[in-house]
Amino acid sequence: MGAQWKAKGKALVADAKGKLFGKLVKEITVAARAGGDPASNAALRMAVEAARKASMPKDTLERAIKKGSGAGADAVNYERVVFEGYAPHRVPVMVECLTDNPNRTAPNMRVLFRKGQMSAVAWDFDHVGLIEGEAANADTDMEMAAIEAGAQDFEAGDEEGVTLFITDATDLDVVSKALPAQGVKVLSAKLGYKAKNPISAASLSAEAMEEVQAFLAGLENDDDTQHVYAGLVD
């Protein structure tokens, strides 16, 4: 699961929104390489939907598409790079970056991993489709919706009522399109990593959890980081 932290205070919220827009612009730019029309480009369509849900200005969104499709004067090329390793207390971590300069990103990641360990951990993760959704009405049966839409699995809603639907990587677009017909409002859809053998947070002391969270927050705050997936469950 991607690690999430909620910013507090107006300045922090504004900074968090700026970082979110930066990440979304990169996703749109990379997706647009395969074509600038969301109707025929599933990856671009999902990235555009995420941007709209985050209230990204229309001109910012359109500029990002032009950058990726090569239609704009400021076309840019981002490379997707994944770093693997352990957070403190042997929590496995996958870090997905989008960068225009891998020679800058790699040293930064090595520094951030000093309190953990860079190591091959991909074997302990599945590459899957991750769809967040919420019931569109009171009659929605999320388990039945998952089955009917073709999801591989689902995780019951959190305190905010958000359910995670897990799909095969190749089925992400199909399932995300099928869920609304089953009474589910799709909030986000992306490819990501899910730990096979996550560590229980309850098995760690409060001090250990603070160390893990501080480590993950450091990874998230790097400008080149898109997503952080940690093998940790509540």
Q: Determine the Cα–Cα distance for residues 30 and 80; give it in Å rounded to an integer.
A: 9
- Residues of the chain short of pLDDT 50, as ranges, are 1-14
For residues 177 and 211, membership in a common domain is answered with: yes
pLDDT tens digits for range 102-134: 999 999 999 999 999 999 999 999 999 999 999
Contact yes or no for 91/199 (Cβ under 8 A):
yes
Which CATH number fits the domain that encloses residue 26?
1.10.10.200
At residue 15, the pLDDT reads 53
For residues 65 and 155, membership in a common domain is answered with: no
Amino acid at 112: L
Write down which residue in 18, 44, 69 finishes a domain: 69
Residue 3 domain-assigned (yes or no): no
DSSP, residue by residue, 65-112: HHHHHT-STT----EEEEEEEEEGGGEEEEEEEEES-HHHHHHHHHHH
At residue 158, the pLDDT reads 65
Q: Among 116, 136, 41, 95, which Cα is nearest to 228's?
A: 95
For residues 130 and 189, membership in a common domain is answered with: yes
For residues 151 and 114, membership in a common domain is answered with: yes
At residue 75, the pLDDT reads 63
Q: What is the number of structural domains in the chain?
A: 2
Q: Among 135, 137, 179, 136, which Cα is nearest to 161's?
A: 135
Residue 1 domain-assigned (yes or no): no
Amino acid at 160: E
Contact yes or no for 130/192 (Cβ under 8 A):
yes
Whole domain around residue 211: which residue ranges? Answer: 79-234
Q: Determine the Cα–Cα distance for residues 187 and 76; give it in Å rounded to an integer.
A: 28
For residues 31 and 103, membership in a common domain is answered with: no
Residue 23 domain-assigned (yes or no): yes
Contact yes or no for 198/155 (Cβ under 8 A):
no
For residues 61 and 123, membership in a common domain is answered with: no
For residues 93 and 17, membership in a common domain is answered with: no
Contact yes or no for 95/225 (Cβ under 8 A):
yes
Q: What angle separates helix 10-31 from helix 58-69, to the nearest 10 degrees?
A: 40
Write down which residue in 69, 92, 108 finishes a domain: 69
Q: What angle separates helix 58-69 from helix 42-53, to the nearest 10 degrees?
A: 160
Residue 132 domain-assigned (yes or no): yes
The model's pTM: 0.81
Question: Max alpha carbon distance in the chain (Å)?
Answer: 53
For residues 33 and 142, membership in a common domain is answered with: no
Residue 5 domain-assigned (yes or no): no
For residues 98 and 160, membership in a common domain is answered with: yes
